[in-house]
Amino acid sequence: MKFRPCIDLHSGSVTQIVGSTLSDGSNASLATNFSSPLPASHYARMYRDSGLAGGHVIMLGPGNDAAAVAALAAYPGGLQVGGGVTAASAPLWLAQGASHVIVTSFVFKGGEVDYGNLGLLTGHPEVGKGRLVLDLSCRKLPASRVPAGADPDTYYVVTDRWQTYTSLAVTPASLRELAGHCAEFLVHGVENEGKRCGILDDLVELLASSPVPVTYAGGVAGMEDLERVKRLGGGRVDLTIGSALDIFGGGMSYEEVVRWHDKEQQEP
């Protein structure tokens, strides 16, 4: 199991938000846990110096390109990038130093998996399956929208800043199917994202069935959650932590998390 660091960008700043408050319209309803005076490149260098690879830069809305480029330049090959990535922009982000591109809305169009667009990415000589991460961030349906006879505990992939539900249920079968088209999955448990209220146990257990590496995000509150993810995920689910870390205004020691990660990598 690995700790995967993150840099979330909103309006050009490193920001930690409550995921369920994002919208496509006004920012009036956006709940922000932390906004850093430090540039994205500062965090990228920190992760580089800590020897943490496989983290991600997520651009939440417009106005983040310059900050993302600066972060990638500070840690070339060490960070993935996502947020509005398409088949046209993916090779450009890789050329800027991203190790992988993270894609959501371009592949999940009209509430369905657009295999045509997915093929544009996997068939691109500079992208391909090996440098593609699919974002399967998900939520359960509101009780009023659960079809009669359906399982209310099913998670569905959401797009458009986590506001639009797709018809894709996150299941062992769908993970197996999509794993044939990408290198990794990134999954935010949207309802718990940024709330420091604990992880979504059932989602972590589900993600352990993924045939490719998968990173879970959402709700981490303390060091005990690292051990919890390790146990529930059978050591196969990596973890990213945002708002809970002291570098983002939380109470968890970043240095302690790095030590936990380093010890984990040394275990047989």
pTM, entire model: 0.93
Query: In the β-sheet with 155-159, what is the strand arrangement from edge to edge?
Result: 138-140, 155-159, 164-169
Residue 30 belongs to a domain with what CATH number? 3.20.20.70
**What is the DSSP code (8-state) at residue 189?**
B
Length of the chain, please? 268
Tokens 């260098």 correspond to what residue?
A: 45
Residue 76: inside a domain, yes or no? yes
- Residue 156, CA distances (Å) to 7, 51, 142, 164, 180 in order: 24, 34, 11, 10, 19
Residue 1: inside a domain, yes or no? no
One digit per residue, the tens of pLDDT, for the chain of length 268 reads 999 999 999 999 999 876 544 555 445 446 677 789 999 999 999 999 999 999 999 998 899 999 999 999 999 999 999 999 999 999 999 999 999 999 999 999 888 999 999 999 999 999 999 999 999 999 999 999 998 998 999 999 999 878 889 999 999 999 999 999 999 999 999 988 878 889 999 999 999 999 999 999 999 999 999 999 999 999 999 999 999 999 999 999 999 999 999 999 998 7
- Residue 46 lies in domain: 6-266
Residue 89: inside a domain, yes or no? yes
Residue 199: inside a domain, yes or no? yes
Count of domains forming the chain: 1
Q: Which two tokens stand for residue 202?
A: 């059932």
Residue 109: inside a domain, yes or no? yes
Q: Distance between alpha carbon 194 and the CA centroid of its chain, in Å?
A: 12
Residue 135: inside a domain, yes or no? yes
